[in-house]
């Protein structure tokens, strides 16, 4: 059966209490998928010792210097009706006092970087599609911030593709902040129980749903957070969700991001690849949403300038990692049954996004623009009762990859 987007929200009530699951590594080595980059190192053990020390220092410094929010700053509360459509977004969506020469220079610099990326990525994808173009909607908020959504639909190659930019000033319950970050990392430490956390967030997010079942869906999100207590961090990543397994495609996609990571820290790729394998899990299905990529959150373990350059390199590598795969398969022939399988995998995509995705949870809990929050959902999806792929089929092949993490480069 097929469902429209609106009715899918009901689904979240049934499965939002699902327990966590992490797929076990299969230990298999795919020689045919090895790239010239060589084998992947074992994922490094994650440690939060440095983060806890840095967080304590940041909070102590914030208390020493006092709250950095200006006494005449606009209120931080936002709501569902706080978005004002505008014909054209201003040159910057950050508050004037937060500019490059203000108290929070990274806010304006990160926004500038992702605005340039939004334009370059949508231009490249529209060129690949060859038919449709991106429609841009802009909005602002009275308390500062706003956003720009660029959405393409009914294209020759893409059924739906969107790249959203948002700048948010607000406050949120501590549990919402926890949902938006890595579990176990306390970004509201030092605040009284029940006290709302004033914050700034700036990010660029994207989902692309191609028509052809042999063209994978792709998602990315790169973001920067600050709280008024002086705590900051970067997060994000790029991941791929194919309906059918192609080893060359996976080697290219993962190989591109291994090269990106290696330019900044050779430990990044094994760590962030493993993090993506853990994060993009549909716990109630005991399977992953797709075949991963890189994912990171709460990243503040080094000079922010270095992390800004890493985020910039990663977002600017979206088209080189994804574009050639789409170009190679956009005209592949397919059967009706293969299209139905793609629709079922889209159903799994919907399940993850509405139940587990941090960006969706964050947007819904902080009064985000609902059209932008739900932009990630495909226009059509399918749920087929108790579907079990036939043993030895291509569908069974990729299901094994969804249930057992693999190394691709």
Q: Kindly state the tokens that stand for 105.
A: 């220079």
Is the separation of the CB atoms in 290 and 217 below 8 Å?
Answer: yes
219 catalytic? Reply is yes
User: Can you tell me whether residue 107 is helix, strand or coil?
Assistant: helix
Q: Which of 83, 209, 219, 254 does the annotation list as catalytic? A: 219
Is residue 238 within 8 A of residue 76, CB to CB? The reply is no
Q: For the chain, how long is the longest CA-to-CA vector?
A: 66
Taking alpha carbons only, the member of 177, 220, 175, 183 closest to residue 20 is 183
> What tokens does 229 get?
């207590």
Write the DSSP string, 12-63: HHHHTTPPP--PPEEEEE-GGG--TT-PPPPPPPP--HHHHHHHHHHHHHHH
Alpha-carbon distance 111 to 233, whole Å? 14
Could you give the CA distance from residue 363 to residue 359 in angstroms, rounded to a whole number? 6
User: In 154-256, which ranges are E strands?
Assistant: 158-172, 197-210, 217-227, 232-241
Name the packing angle between helices 247-262 and 304-315 (round to 10°): 150
CA 277 – CA 300 distance, rounded (Å): 21
Q: State how far the alpha carbon of 301 is from the alpha carbons of 221, 234, 306, in Å.
A: 20, 10, 10
DSSP 159: E
Measure the CA–CA gap between 335 and 316, rounded to whole angstroms: 34
Which residues form the catalytic set? 219
């Amino acid at each position: 059966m097929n469902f429209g987007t609106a009715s899918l929200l009901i689904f979240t009530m049934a499965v939002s209490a699902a327990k966590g699951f992490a797929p076990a590594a299969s230990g298999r080595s795919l020689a045919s998928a090895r790239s010239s980059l060589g084998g992947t190192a074992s994922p490094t053990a994650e440690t939060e010792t440095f983060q806890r020390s840095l967080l304590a220092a940041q909070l102590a410094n914030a208390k020493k210097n006092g709250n950095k929010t200006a006494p005449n700053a606009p209120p931080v509360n936002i709501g569902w009706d706080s978005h004002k459509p505008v014909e054209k977004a201003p040159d910057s969506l950050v508050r004037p006092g937060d500019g490059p020469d203000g108290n929070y220079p990274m806010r304006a610099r990160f926004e500038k970087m992702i605005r340039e990326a939004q334009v370059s990525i949508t231009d490249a994808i529209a060129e690949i599609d060859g038919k449709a173009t991106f429609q841009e909607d802009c909005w602002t908020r009275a308390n500062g911030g706003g956003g720009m959504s660029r959405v393409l639909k009914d294209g020759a190659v893409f059924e739906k593709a969107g790249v959203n930019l948002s700048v948010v000033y607000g406050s949120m319950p501590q549990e919402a902040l926890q949902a938006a970050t890595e579990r176990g990392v306390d970004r509201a430490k030092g605040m009284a129980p029940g006290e709302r956390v004033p914050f700034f967030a700036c990010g660029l997010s994207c989902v692309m749903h191609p028509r052809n079942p042999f063209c994978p869906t792709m998602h990315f999100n790169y973001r920067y957070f600050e709280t008024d207590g002086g705590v900051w961090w970067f997060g994000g990543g790029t991941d791929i969700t194919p309906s059918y397994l192609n080893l060359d495609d996976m080697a290219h996609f993962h190989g591109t991001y291994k090269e990106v990571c290696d330019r900044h820290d050779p430990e990044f790729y094994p760590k962030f690849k493993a993090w993506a394998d853990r994060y993009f899990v549909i716990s109630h299905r005991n399977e992953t949403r797709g075949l991963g990529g890189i994912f990171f959150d709460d990243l503040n373990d080094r000079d922010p300038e270095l992390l800004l350059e890493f985020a910039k390199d990663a977002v600017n590598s979206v088209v080189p990692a994804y574009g050639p795969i789409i170009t190679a398969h956009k005209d592949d022939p397919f059967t009706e049954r293969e299209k139905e399988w793609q629709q079922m995998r889209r159903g799994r995509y919907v399940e993850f996004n509405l139940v587990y995705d941090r960006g969706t949870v964050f947007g819904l809990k902080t009064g985000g623009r609902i059209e932008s929050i739900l932009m990630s959902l495909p226009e059509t999806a399918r749920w087929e009762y108790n579907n079990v792929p036939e043993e030895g089929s291509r569908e069974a092949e990729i299901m094994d990859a969804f249930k057992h993490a693999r190394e691709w480069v």
